[in-house]
Chains A and B, each alone.
Chain A
Amino acid sequence: MSTTSQSHPAEPESAKRKAPTEQTSSTPTLTFTTRNPLWTYLKLQLTHQPPVSQSTLTQPLDPLTARTYLSAALNQFLGLSGTAISIDILKIEPSTGTNAKTIWIRVPAPDASAVVAALSSWVGGSSSSGDANGAGNVAWRVCAKGNFLQALVNGSGADMFVP
């Protein structure tokens, strides 16, 4: 890498600056394509089936409950091997607005389709329907799935069209 001997600091204001005659040989750009990353990311929402009391709806989701529901779904669909799938809870959205009870998880990429199948076919919750709390049943809804978290974090933007 060669540098010019006389120093001529770049002045962004002057557009007429001469290009340095000696080539500042920058390293070439390296480009590669990632196809099979380690993880798959999922955005999930916990939905309640009626009948459900208002207190249950407004109660924030805590990580342990979420983990229990996830394990239950995997256990129902895949048995013991399902519970062995590693799940990392990345974030639980604060329970305000439309994003109530939304969580972000990541799972190993090869297991992702199994997890999606397990979660979307599961309905769980309180077995005793005559529960005083009126907890009702719960289910997971898969809101987004992708191998790169950056592509998912801000959603699809479809809400911008809604006045």
Chain B
Amino acid sequence: MLEFNDDASRREKCFTSLGQLPPFIDPKQPPTRKVPFSAILGHPFVHTVELTLPKEAYTTIQASLDSKLQKLRYARVFMSLSSLLETEFFSTYIKKGNILMISEGRSGSDSVFTLRDGILKLELSREIFERTGLTGKPIRSGGRKHAKERYIIELNLRLPSMLHGKKGFKRIEWAFQNVLTQSVAWLFFDLSSETNGIADAPDDLSLKGNHPQILPCSPAITEHPQILVPPLDTLKLQDSSTAAAAATHQAELQNQCTEVSEWLAMVSLGSPRVAAADDVDPYLSRYSVPDADEAQPTDLVSLRWRGLIPSKWIVGLLVHLLRETAAGGSAAASAWFAISANALGREAVEARDGYSLLVLPALTMAAAAPSGPEDEEKVGKDAIAAARRLGRHFVSWEFVGASVLQ
């Protein structure tokens, strides 16, 4: 109506997937290629993970979450790039170990560095890039129309040629000592399995020499009493007989997915609009919970981890939750839950902002599954066994390209 161009908004997207999880997931070897696992692994740097689930389910699994879930720690450290290459740190953490590091700064305007799987990525402006004398390639910066190009340099520090004294390595050292000299704040996470993010050893001088600030990452628990929960069972793919029915069903599903995603975000925002007791004037807000007529007021709990969180841990959390909330002895034990994560180090253009994943309860699905109409009535051991054989339904959303400034 108002004829304002909004370029950023047009580039914003949300990739939604609906489907069924595999019936059995090996905790030691979870799938990597399929959604939702691909979505989780596609976001290597995550700053917030939020888990939302009914309070009833949380109280049953609370103990196992506290005991079995890996405790997280991460460190904030001020380092220059050249101190990454100092012999001790370089061999402990980059050659032998596996760490995640990300530096401060906004992609698109500042120099931003990330280190993952031994690959150091440097995003630089053109002037700095040219001064470093290293090879790189141009990237989209998303800056103003006439902004200069920006470049990314990728250095695989695990290559056999990356050793002190080698010629190519000397060039990198030179660039870090003469051009990229400033000390920046980094977040650091040690991925080796025996540490919980930071090695305990007091004699580990390679990191400790840089005076890291070690931060524990424990969940902040928020209770959301009496929240209107829309019916979630409808978010399932159904086998439709005709193509036309399938198309309308899909269109409906698309709308529902958007609405449920909005609702989940409203819960994690702690908005009073989703509370059952909310009676706001329509002048101030006309938001309503999707399918408000059928929505049930339920107590919800959300757990929020904040810190540098590796994607492997999130997969672990998902697998753990799937097992704990699987079809057990009672219907109450099987519950829906939602995990959402927000990414750090978003690129300037079409950044991957994060994702959220909603897993539906196993048991109601078993009753609705077309496994044979004759045993629909008896929701007993058969239904539980059937529910275990079939995977649980999920919806995952991946968000791309929002402009978060703060």
Chain A residues at the B interface, C-beta cutoff of 8 Å? 1, 3-4, 7, 9-10, 12, 15, 17, 20, 24, 26-35, 37-40, 43, 63-64, 67, 78, 81, 86, 88-91, 104, 106, 109-114, 117, 142-158, 160-163
Give complex CA distance A57, B284 in Å.
Answer: 23
User: Shortest beta-carbon distance, B203 to chain A, in Å?
Assistant: 25
Give complex CA distance A147, B400 in Å.
Answer: 10
State which of A10, A113, A150, A156 has its C-beta within 8 Å of the C-beta of B389: A10
> Contact at B403–A146, with CB atoms within 8 Å?
yes
Give complex CA distance A112, B402 in Å.
Answer: 13
User: Shortest beta-carbon distance, A118 to chain B, in Å?
Assistant: 10
> Contact at A144–B405, with CB atoms within 8 Å?
yes
Query: Which residues, 249 to 268 on B, are CB-close (under 8 Å) to A?
Result: 250, 253-254, 257-258, 261-262, 264-266, 268
A149 closest partner in B (C-beta) = B265
Chain A CB within 8 A of B269 CB: yes
Give complex CA distance A20, B342 in Å.
Answer: 37
> Contact at B344–A157, with CB atoms within 8 Å?
yes
> Contact at B28–A15, with CB atoms within 8 Å?
yes
User: Shortest beta-carbon distance, A163 to chain B, in Å?
Assistant: 6
Chain A CB within 8 A of B167 CB: no
> Contact at B406–A143, with CB atoms within 8 Å?
yes
Among B6, B8, B371: residue with most chain A CB under 10 A = B6
Give complex CA distance A17, B389 in Å.
Answer: 13
Chain A CB within 8 A of B227 CB: no
Among A27, A104, A111, A150: residue with most chain B CB under 10 A = A150
Q: List 12 A-B contacts (CB under 8 A).
A: A1-B369, A27-B237, A30-B253, A33-B16, A35-B10, A89-B284, A106-B287, A145-B403, A149-B266, A160-B187, A161-B76, A161-B186
A157 closest partner in B (C-beta) = B47
Chain A CB within 8 A of B397 CB: yes
Give complex CA distance A3, B391 in Å.
Answer: 12
Other A-B pairs beyond A43-B406, A151-B402, 7, CB < 8 Å: A31-B17, A35-B13, A110-B1, A149-B265, A150-B397, A153-B265, A157-B47
Query: Which residues, 312 to 370 on B, are CB-close (under 8 Å) to A?
Result: 323, 326, 340, 342-344, 346, 353-354, 356, 369-370
User: Shortest beta-carbon distance, B14 to chain A, in Å?
Assistant: 4
Q: Chain B contacts of A109 at CB under 8 A?
A: 9
> Contact at A114–B4, with CB atoms within 8 Å?
yes
User: Shortest beta-carbon distance, B101 to chain A, in Å?
Assistant: 12
Give complex CA distance A163, B185 in Å.
Answer: 9
B369 closest partner in A (C-beta) = A1
- With contacts A113-B6, A146-B404, A151-B404 known, is A26 near B265, CB below 8 A? no
- With contacts A113-B5, A148-B402 known, is A30 near B18, CB below 8 A? yes
> Contact at B402–A39, with CB atoms within 8 Å?
no
Chain A CB within 8 A of B273 CB: yes
B262 closest partner in A (C-beta) = A149
> Contact at B342–A151, with CB atoms within 8 Å?
yes
State which of B20, B187, B401 has its C-beta within 8 Å of the C-beta of A26: B20
Chain A CB within 8 A of B307 CB: yes
Q: Chain A contacts of B262 at CB under 8 A?
A: 39, 148-150
Chain A CB within 8 A of B61 CB: no
- With contacts A109-B9, A154-B47 known, is A90 near B285, CB below 8 A? yes
- With contacts A24-B23, A39-B262, A146-B404 known, is A151 near B371, CB below 8 A? no
> Contact at B17–A9, with CB atoms within 8 Å?
no
- With contacts A91-B270, A110-B1, A158-B406 known, is A24 near B389, CB below 8 A? yes
User: Shortest beta-carbon distance, B19 to chain A, in Å?
Assistant: 3
State which of A1, A81, A156 has its C-beta within 8 Å of the C-beta of B405: A156
User: Shortest beta-carbon distance, B72 to chain A, in Å?
Assistant: 13
- With contacts A112-B6, A146-B404 known, is A31 near B285, CB below 8 A? no
State which of B1, B2, B9, B389 has its C-beta within 8 Å of the C-beta of A20: B389
State which of B14, B18, B270, B306 has its C-beta within 8 Å of the C-beta of A160: B306
User: Shortest beta-carbon distance, A56 to chain B, in Å?
Assistant: 22
Chain A CB within 8 A of B272 CB: yes
A160 closest partner in B (C-beta) = B47
- With contacts A35-B13, A146-B402, A146-B403 known, is A24 near B390, CB below 8 A? yes
User: Shortest beta-carbon distance, B61 to chain A, in Å?
Assistant: 14
Q: Chain B contacts of A147 at CB under 8 A?
A: 9, 12, 14, 402
